[in-house]
Every structure is written in C-alpha cells, then in structure tokens.
C-alpha cells in the first residue's frame, strides 16, 4: 500500500513528514504516467505541478480556503489529493472529468476550461468573503504564465491590487509554455525574473566594497542608493507587480516542495493580495516529456508509457489538411498571413510558420486581440487567416461582430474542433459557432464534409476581401471522400432515392460532419417508401437560395447539424423558407441548448438521438409513417 492510497483528503497531506512528501510526489508522478498513458489526457501540465499542488494543500485548508485553477487541465494532482484516485475512466462517460468539476467534489470551484478567467473568479470570491465577514479565509488562484497573456487576467489584476483587505494569493505557475512557448512582453518579463539573481545579492557586493574602502561618506551612500535603484530596475522586474500594489514573492523553485510551502506561508500571513512566482518544468520526471521540444505531452491520447509513443498512430486528420492547404495558399498569395492564440501546433499553423515566419503571428491567449488585430491587417491590405478552436472564438464574438463584420474586413476564421468534441467536456464542445455567428451581417460560413471540400472552402474563403469568412471542421481523422452525384445551383446533391410512384418526397440536408449520418438517414427513409434527396450546401451561411428552392420542391425537409439546434442552420433554413412563402415543414435536428458532460463523440450522438436510426424514427413519426 503506497502513500497515495492513504490520502483521502487534504488533512492527510498535511499530516505527512517532509520525507513522506518527497515520496508522495514521486509516487504521484508514476501514477499519472501509468494512468494517463491508458486513457489519454493532459499529462505534461500535471507532471509539472506535483510539488506545487502538494504545498497548496499543506498550507491552505480547502475547501474552507478556495483554490481556483486557471484553465484547470493541471488539476489532476488536486483530484488525487482530495480523494479522487480512480482514473480508470478519466475523461470518459461515467468517469472523472479532465477538469475541475463541482459534481465531483466540494474542492472544485471553477469548471470553465477557458484560460485567463481564474483571477476574476478569485477576486469575486475574495470580495464576497470580505463582505460576508469571512476575513480569515483565503482564496488562491493558480494561473500559468501562458494564461497571463490574456487581457482578462490583467483586468483582474488591476482590480485585485485595489483590495488591500482581501486575502488573495495569486500563484503564477511559470513553465514558459502554454501549448507552446509563451510569447510577448510578459514572457520576456517573466524570463528576466527566472534568469536574474536577486538585486539584494548584487547590493551586498556593493556594501562589502564600501566596508573594505573605509568609512563611507555621503557620496558613497548616494552612490549605493543609485546603485540600488538602478539594479532594482534592471534585474528585479517584479517591480511591475509591485507597482500595481501587489506584494511579490519569488521566484521559487516549484519542484522544491519545502521552498514552495515556505513561500506560500509567507503569502498567507501577509493578509492582502500577494503574487507568488513559482518556476516549474512541464513534464517533470517523465523523460519523454522532458526531452520533447514540440510539447506533444501537453495532451496525449493513449501512449506507451515507456517511450511516450502513441499506441495507435493518428490517421491523417482535418487539421493536417488545413495545415497543408494554407501553406499552398501562402505560396500563391503573399498577402495571406496567419494568426493564432497560443495554439500554433494544435491548429496546424506550424508548417505555415516554418515556411513564412514573418507572416505568422502568435498573440498568446488573447482571442479578442487576435480578431481585432486581424481587422487592422485587413484594412492595411493583408488577408489574415485566424485559426483557433471553435469553442475559443466565443471569447471574441464582439470583435467579430463590431471590428471585423461592421468594417467588412476580409478576414478568414478557421475553426478547428468544431461540433461535438466530447472528452474535454462542456467548455470544449464547439457547438455554438454556427448559431452565434449566424447573426453577424455579411458573414459567410462553410462546413466542409471531406478533404476536397475543406481545401475548396479554404481557397474560396481567402478570395473574399469584403466580409468575414469562416471555415469550420471537426476534431479527429478524416472521413472517406463523399463525392457529389449532381449539382443544384451550387448545392451538392449526394444521393437520390426515387421511391415508388406517388411517394412523398423528403429533402435531407447534412451539415459538415453530419453529412455521413444524412446519407445513412436517406437510405433508411428510402427503405420506408419515401423519395429522398440528400444534399450538402457546403456554404451554409447565409442560407443558399438554391437550398431554399430545394426545400420548396419537397414535401418534407430535414436538417442535421452538430451545432446547437436553436438558432442553428436548420432554424435559419426554416426561417428563410417561411420568408419565401414555402409551406414545406423543416424538421431541424441538432444539439439541444444545454451543457454536455464529457463523453466520446459517439456516446454523445447516441445520447442526443442524433444517430441515423433515431432521426429516421422521428422523421417517420412526423410524417405519420411507421418506423
């Protein structure tokens, strides 16, 4: 029986001796590598915060003291120390979430896995504690250096600094990376903190020199004072935090548990806002992760724990097609530039950056800035391609609407992992984009179904210079090609089932990743004596006039999408049909307006009744037929 087996709560962690703490840290690392290699998950970030998390639970009394993890993908160790040690179904239906989850434990507070939000949460909780006369309670926000590149974090710091009476500790977990090396002025600032010796050490040399030279005069004291000020400005850039009114402690070796614990106790005793700067190494203790420069171990699928290599190599996927095609476009179009928000590798822009380093811009975790700087680039004659996960564009909707849309800027947004992504839970499902972006005047959105339509959509998108364009595609491997059998004024016809004489006709419209389901649905409906046409409009916003015309040519219409149903493409098709005086009912199938728990995509589709057999039963019921 190991030490980890005896940890049922943070109280058990506080009872450990220093030697046991070191042994527990080593045991946790072995456990994480063993378990996450089987299930997949965020391995590197958690290996980097083992000692830090242990120290947090030894110094603070969770849940009485509130611990908030920014992004939350580094909370696996926190789960282990709060009694959740069954990682067998991590990120799978019925198992532990890959992020903090209130349903799992009172020790979890913030479930949102979007970055740069923890400081605002912590500020709000600390203010409530102060008003509620709970001044003996602490709030601790653990935020990575990558998350500090987000503007919201600095809005929060500005307000936190104005709260001398609030017991709030900000732990900056500085590993120099988010998904990739942290960029920008903040990264340079933290790098200086990491690599310079404390200015007091340098001053001690000056004092020793004065003592050796005899009794110091006024001029010597003035010189020492000037030296102190100059050295502090030069080699103690913590002044940036101190100038905000925040006490600064650090930098501290994040893998020396005793040192981290000492720093946290100092911060806890201060009684006001404190920054504790902790230096950690992502992937610490796992050789494949320590030696990896591409950050492949930030999040992994199933891997061989000995080597870190995938158990099953990934098939060529949607992201790979985008990566290849955008480089081709870049060679043809010198005005095309690429922008991403700390996601260069995950969204497939690394090959573009290698080919065109001067035309690639990683702005950090700053989606709002990414969108508006793209609008500025478009005004100045460039065509920016902004590549982010679909879920993260939510954070910049105002900028899409008012900076890009209003100004008719030629900006292309490429949304990776659109639709149901599953394993990472409610905040990572990219199901909102089509409904949200549908209200932006002039915006055009494509949902390709396979490699050829993705490449074609990208080429068409960058040719639009007077409006925003969007190309969305799902997570994972590519499907087999799905060629059209006919063209209906720009709408692809994928299948026609004639049906017997006098049969009622049904139009089935598949959107993006749901096209394959639409084809299966068409076959099932045809088996019930219906005449079925299966189509894919490819460009779904604005709703093509040809698609509306097809609706009017059938007795019943069905739309299938893996975005939210209310306000989605099906809703828009039905509205346009009614506006055109078409009486054909449009039956829209999509994701309900609710947050979805973590599960595989297939499990989610089954649970939402978005499989072909389930939809066929509902369509037949609407038609009054027997399933």
Q: Which helix (H) or strand (E) holds 219?
A: helix 218-235
Residue 450 region, left (φ>0) first, then alpha (ψ -120 to 50), else beta?
beta
Query: For residues 560 and 508, is the Cβ–Cβ distance under 8 A?
Result: yes
Q: Where are the beta strands (DSSP E) in 254-351?
A: 274-279, 336-340
Q: Where are the beta strands (DSSP E) in 473-571?
A: 486-488, 491-497, 505-510, 531-536, 539-541, 556-564
Query: For residues 528 and 535, is the Cβ–Cβ distance under 8 A?
Result: no
Active site residue 561: no
Q: Residue 330 annotated as binding?
A: no
Gap between the Cα atoms of 394 and 407, Å rounded: 19
Gap between the Cα atoms of 441 and 616, Å rounded: 34
Q: Residue 146 annotated as binding?
A: yes
Gap between the Cα atoms of 106 and 536, Å rounded: 46
Task: Give Cβ neighbours of residue 281 (< 8 Å, ≥ 6 apart).
Answer: 48, 175, 254, 255, 290
Q: Residue 112 annotated as binding?
A: no
Gap between the Cα atoms of 380 and 283, Å rounded: 42
Q: Residue 466 annotated as binding?
A: no
Gap between the Cα atoms of 74 and 146, Å rounded: 13
Q: Residue 57 annotated as binding?
A: no
In 44-100, alpha helices (H): 44-47, 50-59, 76-81
Q: Residue 147 annotated as binding?
A: yes
Sheet holding 539-541, edge to edge: 360-362, 336-340, 383-389, 412-416, 469-472, 444-446, 539-541
Query: For residues 283 and 289, is the Cβ–Cβ distance under 8 A?
Result: yes
Q: Which helix (H) or strand (E) holds 412?
A: strand 412-416
Of the candidates 371, 366, 362, the residue with the CA atom closest to the CA atom of residue 152: 366
Q: Pairing between strand 444-446 and 412-416?
A: unpaired
Sheet holding 66-69, edge to edge: 66-69, 139-144, 168-174, 274-279, 247-253
Of the candidates 287, 280, 292, 253, the residue with the CA atom closest to the CA atom of residue 48: 280
CA distances from 571 to 559, 564, 567 (A): 9, 10, 5
CA distances from 115 to 150, 179, 288 (A): 8, 12, 26
Active site residue 395: yes
Active site residue 282: yes
Please tell me which residue in 395, 444, 455, 475 is annotated as part of the active site.
395
Q: Residue 42 annotated as binding?
A: no
Task: Give Cβ neighbours of residue 318 (< 8 Å, ≥ 6 apart).
Answer: 416, 454, 473, 474, 475, 476, 477, 478
Please tell me which residue in 257, 261, 367, 561 is annotated as part of the active site.
367
Gap between the Cα atoms of 278 and 193, Å rounded: 10
Of the candidates 331, 328, 357, the residue with the CA atom closest to the CA atom of residue 344: 357
Q: Is 126 exposed, middle or buried (0-12, 13-18, 19+ CB in 10 A)?
A: buried
Q: Residue 175 annotated as binding?
A: yes
Query: For residues 287 and 260, is the Cβ–Cβ distance under 8 A?
Result: no
Please tell me which residue in 166, 282, 455, 472 is annotated as part of the active site.
282
Binding site membership for Mg(2+): which residues? Answer: 145, 175
Binding site membership for thiamine diphosphate: which residues? Answer: 73, 113-115, 146-147, 175, 286, 367
Binding site membership: which residues? Answer: 73, 113-115, 145-147, 175, 286, 367
> What is the set of active-site residues?
282, 367, 395
């Amino acid at each position: 029986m190991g030490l980890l087996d005896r940890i049922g709560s943070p109280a058990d962690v506080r009872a450990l001796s220093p030697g046991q703490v070191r042994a527990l840290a080593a045991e946790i690392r072995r456990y994480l590598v063993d378990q996450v290699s089987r299930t997949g998950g965020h391995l590197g970030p958690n290996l980097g915060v083992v000692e830090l998390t242990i120290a947090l639970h030894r110094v603070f009394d969770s849940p009485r003291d509130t611990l908030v993890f920014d992004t939350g993908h580094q909370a696996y160790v926190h789960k282990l120390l709060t009694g959740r040690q069954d990682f067998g179904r991590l990120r799978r239906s019925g198992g532990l979430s890959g992020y903090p989850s209130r349903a799992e434990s009172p020790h979890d507070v913030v479930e949102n896995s979007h970055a740069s939000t923890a400081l605002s949460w912590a500020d709000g909780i600390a203010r409530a504690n102060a008003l509620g006369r709970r001044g003996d309670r602490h709030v601790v926000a653990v935020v990575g250096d990558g998350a500090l590149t987000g503007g919201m974090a600095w809005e929060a710091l500005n307000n936190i600094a104005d709260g001398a009476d609030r017991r709030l500790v900000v732990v900056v977990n500085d590993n120099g990376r988010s998904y990739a090396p942290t960029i920008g002025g903040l990264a340079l600032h933290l790098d200086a903190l990491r690599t310079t010796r404390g200015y007091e050490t340098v001053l001690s040399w000056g004092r020793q020199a004065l003592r050796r030279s005899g009794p110091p005069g006024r001029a010597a004291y003035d010189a020492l004072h000037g030296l102190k000020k100059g050295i502090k400005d030069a080699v103690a850039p913590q002044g940036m935090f101190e100038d905000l009114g925040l006490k600064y402690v650090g930098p501290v070796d994040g893998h020396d548990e005793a040192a981290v614990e000492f720093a946290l106790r100092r911060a806890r005793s201060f009684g006001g806002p404190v920054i504790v700067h902790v230096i950690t190494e992502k992937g610490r203790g796992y050789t494949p992760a320590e030696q990896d420069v591409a950050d492949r171990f930030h999040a992994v699928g199933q891997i061989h724990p000995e080597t870190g290599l995938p158990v099953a190599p990934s098939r060529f996927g949607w992201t790979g097609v985008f990566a290849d095609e955008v480089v081709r476009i870049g060679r043809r179009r010198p005005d095309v530039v690429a922008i991403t928000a700390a996601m260069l590798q995950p969204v497939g822009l690394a090959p573009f950056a290698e080919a065109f380093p001067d035309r690639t811009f990683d702005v950090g975790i700053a989606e709002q800035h990414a969108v508006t700087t793209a609008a500025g680039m478009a005004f100045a004659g460039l065509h920016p391609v902004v590549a982010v996960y679909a879920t993260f564009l939510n954070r910049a909707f105002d900028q899409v609407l008012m900076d890009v849309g209003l100004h008719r800027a030629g900006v292309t947004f490429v949304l990776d992992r659109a639709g149901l992504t599953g394993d990472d839970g409610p905040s990572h499902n990219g199901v909102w984009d089509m409904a949200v972006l549908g209200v932006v005047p002039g915006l055009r959105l494509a949902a390709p179904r396979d490699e050829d339509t993705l490449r074609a959509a990208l080429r068409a998108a960058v040719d639009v210079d007077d409006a925003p364009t969007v190309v969305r595609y799902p997570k994972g491997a590519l499907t087999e090609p799905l060629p059209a059998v006919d063209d209906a004024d720009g709408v692809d016809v994928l299948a026609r089932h004639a049906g017997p004489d006098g049969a009622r006709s049904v139009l089935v419209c598949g959107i993006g990743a749901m096209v394959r389901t639409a084809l299966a649905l068409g076959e099932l409906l045809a088996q019930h004596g219906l005449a079925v046409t299966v189509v894919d409009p490819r460009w779904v916003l604005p709703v093509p006039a040809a698609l509306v015309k097809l609706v009017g040519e059938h007795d019943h219409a069905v739309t299938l999408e893996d975005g939210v149903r209310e306000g989605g493409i099906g809703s828009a098709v039905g509205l346009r049909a009614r506006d055109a005086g078409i009486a054909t009912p449009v039956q829209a199938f999509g994701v309900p307006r609710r947050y979805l728990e973590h599960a595989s995509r297939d499990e989610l589709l089954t649970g939402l009744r978005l499989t072909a057999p389930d939809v066929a039963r509902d369509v037949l019921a609407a038609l009054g037929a027997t399933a």
